[in-house]
Homo-oligomer: A and B are copies of this chain.
Amino acid sequence: MPGLRRVPAFRTIPFLKPGADTETVVLTDRQREALTHIGTRVRLPARMLIYREDSAAQWVFAVTEGAVKSYRELPSGKRSVVAFLFARDLFGLASNGRYVNSTQAITRVTLYRLPLDALAVLLKHDGDMQFKFLAKVTHELRESQRRAILINRRDAAGRLATFIAWMGERADRAVNGGRVVQMPMTRSDIAGFLGLSLESVSRAAAELERRHLVRFESRHLARIVDTAGLARLVAAL
């Protein structure tokens, strides 16, 4: 059954915690199979809008490959980025049947799309799987809180350092022990995520390079030069 492995496990987001708190939520084969039956694989090109804030929430998505951003448009026209989503992340948070945020593909992505109603039935039926969903959402709540704390009280360089460290943790460790960090999103996206202006992000990046903590080999590829130094900056709340 080659299709089964296409249903991703739901990994919770490690954030500033190397390994210890990875808490991968792994589904049983039966559960994967059940999800395979109700879901569909979808491939989308970069920049594709996946759904818009306030539109009717029909599906929940799981990222198989690529990167997605979840954001809100503010009245001022600015975009506040709520989350970046990568392989194994779930998204499609809704309230009263409407999506809370808009989501857009950053790179070309492969998603697994689950009809909300069928999923609800499945969860009612399978208490164990529901418990895994609960664990997943609970973990994201923790992360959201933690992020809120970290973002607020920091200088720009500290925020960016934290962000890069976070991206480094998420990245495939395969490559160079996590010292090479892919950053598919734009500076503007990062700014929206960190609550800074894009100019500040740019300046912060320059500062991290000047201090020999990180090297930006290209727009979307950073290399962590001084792991300890970066960790120190991140820890210095």
A144 partner, pick from B75, B127, B144, B237, beta carbons under 8 A: B144
Residues on A facing B (Cβ under 8 Å): 20-21, 23, 72, 74-76, 78, 80, 82-83, 93, 95-96, 100-101, 123-124, 127-128, 130-131, 133-134, 137-142, 144-149, 151-153, 195, 235-237
In Å, the complex CA distance between A127 and B127 comes to: 6
In Å, the complex CA distance between A148 and B100 comes to: 14
A152 partner, pick from B131, B142, B195, beta carbons under 8 A: B195
Residue of B nearest to A150 (CB): B80
The answer on a CB contact under 8 Å between B152 and A151 is: yes
In Å, the complex CA distance between A23 and B96 comes to: 8
Closest Cβ of chain B to A147, distance in Å, is 7
Contacts of A147 in B (CB 8 A): 148
A134 partner, pick from B75, B128, B130, B145, beta carbons under 8 A: B130
The 5 closest A-B pairs by CB, nearest first: A152-B195, A74-B237, A144-B144, A148-B148, A80-B149
Contacts of A151 in B (CB 8 A): 148, 152, 195
In Å, the complex CA distance between A147 and B145 comes to: 10
Contacts of A145 in B (CB 8 A): 82-83, 93, 100-101, 144
Residue of B nearest to A100 (CB): B142
Residue of B nearest to A152 (CB): B195
The answer on a CB contact under 8 Å between A76 and B124 is: no
In Å, the complex CA distance between A72 and B145 comes to: 10
